[in-house]
Amino acid sequence: MMQLKVVKTFISRFLILILSFGLVIYSTNMWGSEGKGTISLVVANAAIVSFFSSIFAGSSTSFFARKYKTEQVLGFAYIGSILIGIFVPLIFSFASLQENYLFHLIGISVFSSLLATNISLFIGIQNIRLFNLYTVLQQFAHIVFIAGFIYILNYRDVSVYFTAQIFCYALLFITSFFQILKSCKISEISFPLAVLKDMFDYGWKNQLSAFIQFLNYRLSFYFLEYFEGIAAVGIFSVGITFSEAIWTITRSIAVILYSDVVNSQSREESIEKTKTSLRMSFLLMIIFVLGIIIIPSEVYEFIFGRAFKGTKEIMLLLSPGIFAIAVSDMIGHYFSGVKELKILNIKSVLGLLVTVALSFYAIPKWGMYGACVVATISYCVSAAILFWKFYQSTNFKINDYLISKAEINLLLEKLRKK
C-alpha cells in the first residue's frame, strides 16, 4: 500500500517538477535576472510569513486531524491564517522589506495559508489523492493565470507573477473548502482552549525547526542582495529553485512517510518505513545528481539566457547539499511524526550558524559561488546531525541505503500500470 501511494505521489510531484522548471524558464526570459531576483525575494518573504501561520495551518492541522474534530482544528487554523497573513507583512513593510509589493504579499500570505490548511488536513486524514491533486493544481493554475494576464489582458509587469499567484491560491482554497464541507459542518465549528493549546504547543516547536532551516535556504538571498545586487540574487535563485524542484520528488516520499508515521501505533513499523523511504530517495537523488553533472553548461545558458551562464557551476556546487537534504528529509519527517522535535531544532540552528558565520566571508569574496559553498556546507551539517541521531536511536546499517532489486521491479511495475 505504501509503495502504491508513493508511486501516485511521485507522479504528481514529477508533474510539479516539470511545471516548476517551465515557470522558472519563462520568468527568467520574461523578466530577466533583476525580475527573477524580485520574484525570489517576495516569494521568500511570503514563505517566512507562512512559517508563522503554519503554527496552526501546517503540521498541526495534519497531526491533530485524527485526534480532534475537523471543525475544531479548522477554526483555529483559518483564523490564524488570516490574522498572521495580514499582520506579519505589515511588520515587514515597517522594516522596508519589499514594501512596494505589500498588498501582493498580504494576498499571497493569507490565501496560501488557507489553502495549506486544507491540504494539511488531507494529509492528516490520509486522503493522498486530494493532496496530490491540489499540489499539482497550484503550479498549473498559477501558470494559467500568468498566461491570462500577459496574453489576454496584456499586463507584463513583474507584479503579474504575484497577482496570478493570489488568484490561484484563492480559487483552489474555495474549491478545496467545498470538498471539506462534505465531511464537516460549519455549524459545528468550535474553539476549545485545549485544542488551541495542543495545536500551538506542537505547531511552534515543529515550525521553529522548519523556519530556521528555511533561513538556511534563503538567507543567502539577502546577503547576495546586500553585497552583489538584485541581479545576482536572480541568477543564484535559479540554482536554488532547481534544488527545491528536485526536492519535490523526494518529498513526495517524505509526505507519505509522515502521514503513515502520524497514524501508526508501532515505532518499529515507522522505523522500517523510514528505512524504505531512505532507500528510495537515495536512489532517486543519485539519478538527479548524475543528470546535473551530465547536462552541458551551454544548455543552461540556452534555456535561461546569457545572463544565467553560471547556472551549471552553481548547480554543481549545490549538488552535494541537494543530495544531503533530500535524503535526510526522510529522517526529519520521521522525527516530526513521532514528536521528537528537539533534534530538528538542533540541526536547524547549527546549520543556520554555519550559514551566517561563513556568509560574511565567502559571499563578499566569491559572490554567487561563495553563496553556493555556504549553502552546501550548511545543508551537509544539518543532514549529518539527523543521520547521527537516527543512527543512535535505531538499528541502522549501511545496507539500509541499498534498495533491493525486488523494490526496483515493484516501483517500475506500478509506474507502468499508471
Q: What is the pTM of this model?
A: 0.66
9 in Cβ contact with 128 (< 8 Å): yes
Residue 387: count other Cβ atoms within 10 Å of its Cβ: 16
Q: Give me the tens of pLDDT residue by residue for the chain, a chain 418 residues long.
A: 445 555 566 666 667 767 777 887 788 888 887 887 888 888 888 888 887 887 887 777 877 777 777 777 888 888 888 999 998 888 877 765 556 788 899 999 999 999 988 888 887 776 777 877 888 888 899 999 999 999 999 888 888 999 999 999 999 999 998 888 877 777 777 788 888 888 888 777 777 777 777 777 778 888 888 888 877 877 787 777 777 777 777 777 787 787 778 777 788 888 888 887 888 788 888 887 888 778 887 777 777 767 677 778 888 898 898 888 888 888 888 888 887 878 888 888 898 899 899 988 998 988 888 988 998 999 899 899 998 888 887 776 666 666 666 656 655 554 454 4
Q: Which helix (H) or strand (E) holds 322?
A: helix 311-337
Q: Give Cα separations from 210 to 51, 59, 348 (angstroms).
A: 7, 10, 8
In 3D space, the residue among 405, 391, 400 whose CA is nearest the CA of residue 272 turns out to be 400
Domain range annotation of the chain? 2-417
376 in Cβ contact with 320 (< 8 Å): yes
Locus of grid cell 553560471: 310
- Angle in degrees, CA 304, 214, 93, rounded to 5: 85
- CA dihedral angle for residue 380, residue 407, residue 15, residue 43, rounded to 10 degrees: -20
In 3D space, the residue among 274, 263, 269 whose CA is nearest the CA of residue 6 turns out to be 274
25 in Cβ contact with 303 (< 8 Å): yes
Q: What is the DSSP letter of 100?
A: G
277 in Cβ contact with 407 (< 8 Å): no
- Angle in degrees, CA 265, 272, 69, rounded to 5: 30
Taking the C-alpha atoms of residue 195 and residue 284, their distance in angstroms, rounded to an integer, is 39
Q: State whether the Cα torsion 92-248-124-331 is positive or negative.
A: negative
pLDDT at 245: 72
Taking the C-alpha atoms of residue 314 and residue 310, their distance in angstroms, rounded to an integer, is 6
257 in Cβ contact with 330 (< 8 Å): yes
- Angle in degrees, CA 48, 70, 176, rounded to 5: 65
Q: Which helix (H) or strand (E) holds 417?
A: helix 405-417
Q: Which residues contact 193 (CB under 8 A, 6 or more apart)?
A: none
Greatest Cα-to-Cα distance within the chain, rounded to the nearest angstrom: 60
182 in Cβ contact with 121 (< 8 Å): no
Residue 50: count other Cβ atoms within 10 Å of its Cβ: 24
Residue 135: count other Cβ atoms within 10 Å of its Cβ: 21
